[in-house]
């Protein structure tokens, strides 16, 4: 059967491809260290599990309002006020089936054929694909490594055209872990406002920060910015709840309302019991979130040192999320491979370390390593990578 044009150019997720290969090797009995994962290695905290169980037992297993149960929306509104200094009302918020589906729904709602969305590279793999699925055109700008993987207002201004609808800001970033500070966001936000370009601020890694710099939401910088921003967030990364599929978007009613209508005809609503679990996550104490953050922070410090010690590998120290994004271009050359993809494939085959080539993130000189694995596994992985590089010199 002839498939729809929209799926013909879809690129399979780079992360999933390496994970599949790693699993295949594991299945053959190999001792594989997987650094490809995009999710915390912790279990969802017990108080959240209890809330879901209670919801289930109390019969809260039916359809809910499309945009989410009022109590969860209220908890999200309180979270915005507490953490970000932002005031939203219920009409400004939609709860979605993960942050990914908030983004998907958003692009479906705002893009017409040929509309452009600026996506700074390195980028999270789904942004360009989701833009294309909405018949939009992703326009890439390079967030240079020398500039700590941040784009400048000048870069942004240069690529804006009359067709530009939105720009994606992901801070802290997957895959680089970089974070924009208040002044940088101010300048980027001004360019967007000047040209009537919507800011899509993906703040999913907000709670995973390892620097003294605070997380700043661009929407909080002024009322005008707030009216020109859609915030994307969720509990997947902050509360180790990736499988529960609860995310949300907040922004102007004119965008949130059609998103809710679209959701009513696609997902109907996010899973009821997962919404009650997320409600507990936001209503209860935050200690488990902080405990996880501290463990990630310790791992980052150790892995960062170990990687930078390997000849041909250099790494900008990330400030957030749970990834390192080293430049391995010299190591690739030294070891005689043509591309990062070939290098990563050989590393997996020879030393059984799975990491994700940067190609899928728009960064063909880098690889992404997730430190959502135990400290012992990280140390062993670094040792294996070092041996691989040395063996091929
Ligand atoms: N945004 C970024 C930058 C991510 O890295 C991810 C997950 O990997 C998501 C959004 C999606 O999160 P969720 O699992 O809530 O759909």
Whether 203 lines ligand 1, by a CB cut-off of 6 Å, is: no
- Find the 36 Cα to ligand 1 centroid distance in Å: 14
- What residue's CA is closest to ligand 1, atom 3? 174
**18 or 146, which is more confident?**
146
pLDDT tens string 172-224: 999 999 999 999 999 999 999 999 999 999 999 999 999 999 999 999 999 99
- Find the 100 Cα to ligand 1 centroid distance in Å: 6
H/E stretch holding 212 reads: none
Q: Which atom of ligand 1 is nearest to the CA of 246?
A: 15
**3-class DSSP state of 33:** strand
Class of domain 61-283: alpha beta
Upper half-sphere CA count for residue 145 (Cβ side, 13 Å): 18
Class of domain 5-43+288-391: alpha beta
Indicate the DSSP class of residue 13. P
pLDDT at position 301, please?
97
pLDDT at position 71, please?
98
Distance, CA of 345 to CA of 28 (rounded, Å): 17
Whether 100 lines ligand 1, by a CB cut-off of 6 Å, is: yes
Q: 357 vs 9, 36, 39, 116, 159, CA distance in Å?
A: 20, 10, 17, 26, 27
- Find the 77 Cα to ligand 1 centroid distance in Å: 20
Whether 126 lines ligand 1, by a CB cut-off of 6 Å, is: no
pLDDT at position 393, please?
77
Whether 170 lines ligand 1, by a CB cut-off of 6 Å, is: yes
- What residue's CA is closest to ligand 1, atom 5? 174
3-class SS letters over 52-100: HHHHHHCCCCCCCCCCCCHHHHHHHHHHHHHHHCCCCCHHHEEEECHHH
Whether 316 lines ligand 1, by a CB cut-off of 6 Å, is: no
pLDDT at position 10, please?
83
pLDDT tens string 263-293: 999 999 999 999 999 999 999 867 889 999 9
Q: 310 vs 300, 326, 345, CA distance in Å?
A: 16, 11, 18
**3-class DSSP state of 274:** helix
Mean pLDDT of 103-126: 97
pLDDT at position 14, please?
64
Sequence ranges of the domains in the chain = 5-43+288-391, 61-283
């Amino acid at each position: 059967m002839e498939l729809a044009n929209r799926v013909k150019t879809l690129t399979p997720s780079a992360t999933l491809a390496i994970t599949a290969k790693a699993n295949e090797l594991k299945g053959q009995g190999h001792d594989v260290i997987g650094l490809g994962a995009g999710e915390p290695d912790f279990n969802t905290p017990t108080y959240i599990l209890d809330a879901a169980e209670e919801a289930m037992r109390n019969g809260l297993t039916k359809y809910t309002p499309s945009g989410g149960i009022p109590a969860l929306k209220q908890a999200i509104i309180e979270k915005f006020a507490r953490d970000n200094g932002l005031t939203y009302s219920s009409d400004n918020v939609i709860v979605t089936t993960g942050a990914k589906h908030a983004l998907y729904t958003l692009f479906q709602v705002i893009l017409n054929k040929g509309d452009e969305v600026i996506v700074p590279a390195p980028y999270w793999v789904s942004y360009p694909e989701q833009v294309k699925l909405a018949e939009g055109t992703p326009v890439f700008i390079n967030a240079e490594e020398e500039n700590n993987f941040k784009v400048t207002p000048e870069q942004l201004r240069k690529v804006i055209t009359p067709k530009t609808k939105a720009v994606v800001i992901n801070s802290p970033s997957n895959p680089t872990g970089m974070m924009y500070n208040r002044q940088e966001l101010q300048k980027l936000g001004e360019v967007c406002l000047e040209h009537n370009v919507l800011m899509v601020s993906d703040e999913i890694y907000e709670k995973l920060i390892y620097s003294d710099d605070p997380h700043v939401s661009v929407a909080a910088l002024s009322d005008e910015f707030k009216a020109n921003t859609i915030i994307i967030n969720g509990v997947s990364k902050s509360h180790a709840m990736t499988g529960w599929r609860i995310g949300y978007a907040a922004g102007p009613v004119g965008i949130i309302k059609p998103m809710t209508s679209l959701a009513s005809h696609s997902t109907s609503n996010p899973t009821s019991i997962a919404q009650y679990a997320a409600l507990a996550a936001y209503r209860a104490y935050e200690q488990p979130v902080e405990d996880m953050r501290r463990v990630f922070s310790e791992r980052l410090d150790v892995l960062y040192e170990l990687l930078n010690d390997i000849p041909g590998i250099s790494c900008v120290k990330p400030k957030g999320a749970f990834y390192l994004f080293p430049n391995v271009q010299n190591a690739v050359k030294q070891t005689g491979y043509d591309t990062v993809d070939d290098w990563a494939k050989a590393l997996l085959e020879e030393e059984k370390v799975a990491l994700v080539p940067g190609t899928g993130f728009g960064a063909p000189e880098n690889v992404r390593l997730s430190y959502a694995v135990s400290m012992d596994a990280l140390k062993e992985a670094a040792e294996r990578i070092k041996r691989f590089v040395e063996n091929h010199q």
